[in-house]
Structure 1
Amino acid sequence: MTGSTPQALGRALADARAARKRLSAASLEAPTGTADAAAAQAALFEALGVEAQGWKVGIRPDGAMAAPMHPIHEGEDAVFPYRENIILEIEIGVRLGSDLPARGEGAPAYGHAEIEAAVETGFLGLEVVDSTLEEGNKAPFPLFLADLMGNGGYVVGPTLERDAALAPEGEIVLLLDGEEIFRGPAVHPNADPIAPILGYANGQFDRLGGLKAGQIVTTGALCIAPLPGPGLLEARMNGKVLKARFAA
């Protein structure tokens, strides 16, 4: 079984990503909890030779979770290799204007207003969900967490007005080479995009330095759709357009 330590698991996941291979959960030794999963995330980033530039955060029944994202593209020149079973998530993201360091035991927790004040800008984003695990999010959660919660990359799209970023609404349309592949309402899973950032800021466990000014944080999918094939993807919402190409 591969990955007998968090460090070995991180290296195995990094090697699989570089080789564009998927691994079965049964072939890997799952972390025993979030601490080991975070150590594996850090080892994965070390093996890839990259630093954390952004995070995906979300709320589960057992608390807020986070994973670093890679690669992150900004602008309209994003290109990803296509393969089967890629999922597209159009999301609300924010860029942090100040650090949000983990607070020690006994220190006051972050409040909603503090997190909102730390947000410099909001934007429309695209998460490419392309898990290294054959089972994806059906794998044991600590293993899925080690695999960056399935993140295969991210695109920072057009800037949103602050009110639009903090209370998203409207319709999302996805086009692939001009053909519509999805249409539906923009619905945030937590209603409030600040909520998952707040939850994780008050429960940080990563080994990559935490939430830093200049980093981006994506807060949950407004829509989820499979990618049916290679081509030029366009995501449209309220007059904003985000583009990314998936190369065969």
Structure 2
Amino acid sequence: MMEKFELAAKELLSRRVAGMKAPRLAENVRPASIEDALQIQAAMTQQRSDAIGGWKCLLPISEQQMIVAPIFSDTVKRLSDTEKQSAECFMMADNDCVRIEPEIAFVLSQDLPASDVGYDESQINDAIGSCHMALELMQSRFADDSGAEFFERLADGLVNQGLFLGPQIDRAKAFAASQIEIDVIQGETTKSFAGHHPNGDPVAPIYWLINFMSRRGVSFKAGQAIITGSYCGIVEVAFDKEILICYQGLGEYRVTFKAE
């Protein structure tokens, strides 16, 4: 069985290239359950040379639909101190454009080792060191007509190709950000959103994630960034043209995406 997971992981990792739109996995390595998908994710992590740089998550939709995936550290981009409020970010195109999801990232400042008993909310809150405006970088790697089902997409990281960490924001406001008015401005085009967190509470998915994965033997490390859902779904913008991202009452920054 482990060989099946390792083969699936190797195949999915090989698809993380620009422009890749692949058919569904071969039946002999295709995940058939949540557990299969999580085992493939773990095998992908073991096969990469980098560590886990973060996680994406939401509260489970159902017993058969869990939103959880590692984000690899080589794919986490940051607004550096020298860039201040403007940055360049390299990413892979998806359908010839940039696809991003505006989110908030919660960055751990303490390790949370794997634990059979898990952690209470206050322990997890204490481990969160900073909060940031963030963009999940998206790439759909299955062809639209592939017929790939949820377990395959979960194994592949649910369209994630990376994460961009923007400016730090006020912690209390981040924890309470159930709604955010968001503007994405590129040239003369402004896309405005009355953003709503998909779970209402942007921190609740972190409590679930850490306890669920911790009991599976996963340790969380200081510096890992956790995102918990987009406030306005996927936003498509162009390469090579500066974008202004505004979160009303929280902050703003500029970023230009470059194609890898």
CA RMSD of aligned residues (A): 2.8
Residue number in structure 2 paired with 1:80: 91
- In 2, the alpha carbon distance for the partners of 1:141 and 1:83 equals 20
- In 2, the alpha carbon distance for the partners of 1:81 and 1:206 equals 34
Residues 102 and 203 in structure 1, CA contact (< 8 A), matched pair in contact too: no
Question: CA 1:135/1:117 → structure 2, altered by over 3 Å: closer, same or farther?
Answer: farther
The Cα shift of 1:135 comes to 4.2
- In 1, the alpha carbon distance for the partners of 2:254 and 2:123 equals 29
**What is the correspondence of 1:135-214 to structure 2 with a 5 Å cutoff?**
135=144, 139-168=148-177, 169-176=179-186, 178-204=187-213, 209-214=218-223
The Cα shift of 1:35 comes to 2.9
- Secondary structure, aligned partner of 1:222: coil
Task: Kindly provide the amino acid, as one letter, of the partner of residue 43 in structure 1.
Answer: A
Residue number in structure 1 paired with 2:34: 34
**What is the correspondence of 1:223-242 to structure 2 with a 5 Å cutoff?**
223-232=232-241, 233-238=243-248, 239-242=251-254
Query: What percent identity do the matched residue pairs reach?
Result: 26
Residues 89 and 126 in structure 1, CA contact (< 8 A), matched pair in contact too: yes
TM-score, length basis structure 2? 0.81
The Cα shift of 1:247 comes to 2.7
Which of 108, 111, 114 does residue 96 from structure 1 map onto?
108
The total of aligned residue pairs comes to: 242
Deviations 1:15-37 (A, max 9, x none): 11136422122646421223322
- In 2, the alpha carbon distance for the partners of 1:240 and 1:19 equals 29
TM-score, length basis structure 1? 0.85
Residue number in structure 2 paired with 1:61: 62
Residues 65 and 200 in structure 1, CA contact (< 8 A), matched pair in contact too: no
- Secondary structure, aligned partner of 2:229: strand
5+ residue gaps, structure 1: none
5+ residue gaps, structure 2: 80-86
Task: Kindly provide the amino acid, as one letter, of the partner of residue 153 in structure 1.
Answer: G
Residues 88 and 258 in structure 2, CA contact (< 8 A), matched pair in contact too: no
- In 2, the alpha carbon distance for the partners of 1:245 and 1:119 equals 28
